């Protein structure tokens, strides 16, 4: 009997977040919402990019964007900075980390794509909104 009660309790604890009327993700008890959102084909991405001396776009990696190897941390960092009005500060932070001589400017921006078309090679964004632009200090 005690064994069954313990089993029920363990299942209840692990499933607890999903039993709420408004499930809320947390750690380590989670609703596991990965891959569940209905994204649609057209999506916006908050990014930080570099520009070289010829104004060509250079993609920056999560280490430069957020001082982290995690792409999700980079994504949340950029979105958080935009939403909270800290895009200029993030731009300057990233510019300080960029040590590549060919990158002269950094931009914080939102790019919109048809993601299926992007995978098929159509890489031009359908819409771009710039939030901050700063020079890389030398």
Query: Measured from the CB of residue 51, what is the shortest distance to other proteins in angstroms?
Result: 14
Could you tell me which stretch among 40-48, 96-104, 129-137 binds other proteins (CB under 8 A)? 40-48
C-beta neighbour count of 67 within 10 angstroms: 13
Q: How many residues does the chain have?
A: 138
Residue 54 corresponds to which tokens in the numbers above? 């010829």
Which residues share a beta bridge with 110?
46, 129
Could you tell me which stretch among 32-40, 100-108, 128-136 binds other proteins (CB under 8 A)? 32-40
Binding to other proteins in span 48-77, by CB under 8 A = 59-62, 64-65, 67-77
Q: Does 34 bind other proteins (CB under 8 A)?
A: yes
* Concatenated DSSP letters of 103-135: EEEEEEEEEEEEHHHHHTT--S-SEEEEEEEEE
Query: Measured from the CB of residue 136, what is the shortest distance to other proteins in angstroms?
Result: 16
Q: Does 84 bind other proteins (CB under 8 A)?
A: yes
- Total chain residues near other proteins (CB under 8 A): 59
User: Cα–Cα distances in Å, from 8 out to 4, 5, 41, 130, 135?
Assistant: 6, 5, 41, 52, 59
List of residues contacting other proteins (CB under 8 A): 3, 6-7, 10-11, 14-15, 17-18, 23, 25-41, 43, 45, 47, 59-62, 64-65, 67-78, 80, 84, 86, 111, 113, 115-116, 118-121
């Amino acid at each position: 009997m005690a064994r069954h009660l313990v089993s029920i309790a363990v299942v209840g604890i692990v499933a607890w977040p999903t039993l709420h009327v408004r499930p809320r993700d947390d750690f380590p008890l989670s609703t596991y919402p990965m891959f569940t959102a209905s994204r649609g084909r057209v999506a916006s991405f908050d990014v930080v990019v570099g520009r070289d001396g010829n104004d060509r776009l250079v993609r920056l990696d999560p280490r430069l964007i957020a001082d982290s190897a995690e792409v999700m941390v980079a994504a949340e960092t950029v979105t958080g900075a935009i939403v909270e009005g800290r895009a200029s500060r993030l731009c300057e932070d990233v510019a300080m980390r960029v040590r590549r001589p060919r990158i002269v400017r950094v931009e914080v921006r939102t790019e919109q794509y048809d993601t299926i078309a992007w995978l098929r090679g159509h890489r031009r964004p359908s819409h771009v909104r710039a939030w901050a632009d700063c020079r890389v200090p030398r």
